Amino acid sequence: MTESAHDVTRAEAREALELAARVSLRAPSVFNSQPWTWRVTGDILELASDPHRRLGVTDAEGRLLLLSCGGALHHARIALAAGGWRTEVQRLPDARRPDLLATIRVAGRIEPDPAARDLASAISRRRTDRRAFGERPVAEQTLTRLRRLVEAEGAYLHVVPDDRVPELAISVDLAADANYFDPAHRTELTNWTHRPAWTSDGVPPATAVEPGLRRVPVRNFLPDGSPGLLSGADHDEGATYVIVFGTTDRPVDLLRGGEAMSALLLRATVEGLATAPISEAVEVAWPRILLTRLLSDLGEPYLIVRLGYVESEEPVPPSPRRTPNEVIRIEE
């Protein structure tokens, strides 16, 4: 890249891409597994999945791995747009390298995107809040803004009507039972909730919540332990449940679904909402069929998200993140 061609030097592009990759470390992922790596080479940033971090039991088909990596891709894109960088993104650019999920190339400078700046400002504040939400409902105008943002990322958002939330609860409960009584799943869950501190990943007890009465069950990450968060006095009375979905379960659509998930969670944080992804019902085949029926068979469910307001002013502790040196490789 020459400065005359794009008004950006190779060093500037590399610095911007490295910063974007660092920002993406805060992206959400299943069991906080952070199953991705980045490589910076010249004016290109490559996102690859890390198959060693795929949950072989919980995510046997690799759907949640792709959603997680899509979240990291969106975080990086938002960081670059907020910084005033024009980029070109290619998804699944090389059929011979299935682990290479996307490339981002810096193509020049632009005015910083105000909407991207709003989302970028929420990256460090976003948390998965598993505590019970209160009675305050989510405004219809807010849901409309979230739906439009998800659709702009190439996916769709279905708001589950109140009278069908019991069906959603059944699908999640069935999946939770299937997982609980599967010894292999219990072993995998224990592995990702009892991580040594040096791994900087997994779901630490401090962010898990005690079981409680909810409209839709919340995953018990520590069935034999002591969660660090109290559920609270509420029971999700005002919570809204949404399903992020797409037309197919092709890898490129799942990747875009992860980008849409990231956009949803960040915008909800900007709006002052608490958020909690729920993946159990997409992990098990039969409950996933029930979710498809909730969508009137219009698409493939990718993820459920609970939206609402928490009465407590006590912040949720951040989940650990791997260091840049573990995830990002820079080549001259």
Domain residue extents for the chain:
3-124+323-331, 140-308
Interval 106-121 mean pLDDT: 96
Under DSSP, the state recorded for 236 is S
User: 225 pLDDT band (50/70/90 cuts)?
Assistant: confident
Q: Which residues, 6 or more positions from 222, have their beta carbon under 8 angstroms from its beta carbon?
A: 193, 205, 208
Task: Tell me which fold the domain 140-308 belongs to.
Answer: NADH Oxidase (3.40.109)
Alpha-carbon span 85 to 113, nearest angstrom: 9
pLDDT the model gives residue 312: 84
User: 232-245 pLDDT, tens per residue?
Assistant: 889 999 999 999 99
Alpha-carbon span 34 to 24, nearest angstrom: 10
pLDDT the model gives residue 226: 87
Q: What is the sign, positive or negative, of the torsion defined by CA atoms of 302, 63, 133, 138?
A: negative
pLDDT the model gives residue 314: 87
Residue 300 has pLDDT above 60, yes or no: yes
Say if residue 109 is exposed, middle or buried (CB neighbours under 10 Å; 0-12, 13-18, 19+).
middle
Question: Do residues 190 and 313 make contact, with C-beta atoms less than 8 angstroms apart?
Answer: no
User: 271-282 pLDDT, tens per residue?
Assistant: 999 999 999 999
pLDDT the model gives residue 6: 53
User: 121 pLDDT band (50/70/90 cuts)?
Assistant: very high
Interval 172-199 mean pLDDT: 95
Question: Do residues 201 and 179 make contact, with C-beta atoms less than 8 angstroms apart?
Answer: no
User: 208 pLDDT band (50/70/90 cuts)?
Assistant: very high
Interval 291-319 mean pLDDT: 94
Q: Which residues, 6 or more positions from 182, have their beta carbon under 8 angstroms from its beta carbon?
A: 57
Residue 322 has pLDDT above 80, yes or no: yes
Q: Which two tokens stand for residue 115?
A: 């909407």
Interval 71-98 mean pLDDT: 97
User: 70 pLDDT band (50/70/90 cuts)?
Assistant: very high
Find the distance separating the first CA and the last CA of the chain, reported in whole Å.
13
pLDDT the model gives residue 8: 86
Residue 2 has pLDDT above 50, yes or no: no
Alpha-carbon span 67 to 256, nearest angstrom: 8
Q: Provide the mean pLDDT of the chain.
A: 95
Q: Which amino acid is at 164?
A: R
Residue 39 has pLDDT above 50, yes or no: yes
Length of the chain: 332
pLDDT the model gives residue 158: 98
Report the SS3 class of residue 36: strand
Judge whether 3-124+323-331 and 140-308 match in fold.
yes
Question: Do residues 254 and 66 make contact, with C-beta atoms less than 8 angstroms apart?
Answer: yes
Query: Quick one: what percent of the chain has pLDDT higher than 90?
Result: 92
Alpha-carbon span 305 to 158, nearest angstrom: 10
pLDDT the model gives residue 1: 41
CATH 3.50.40.10 assigned to domain 3-124+323-331? The reply is no
pLDDT the model gives residue 7: 76
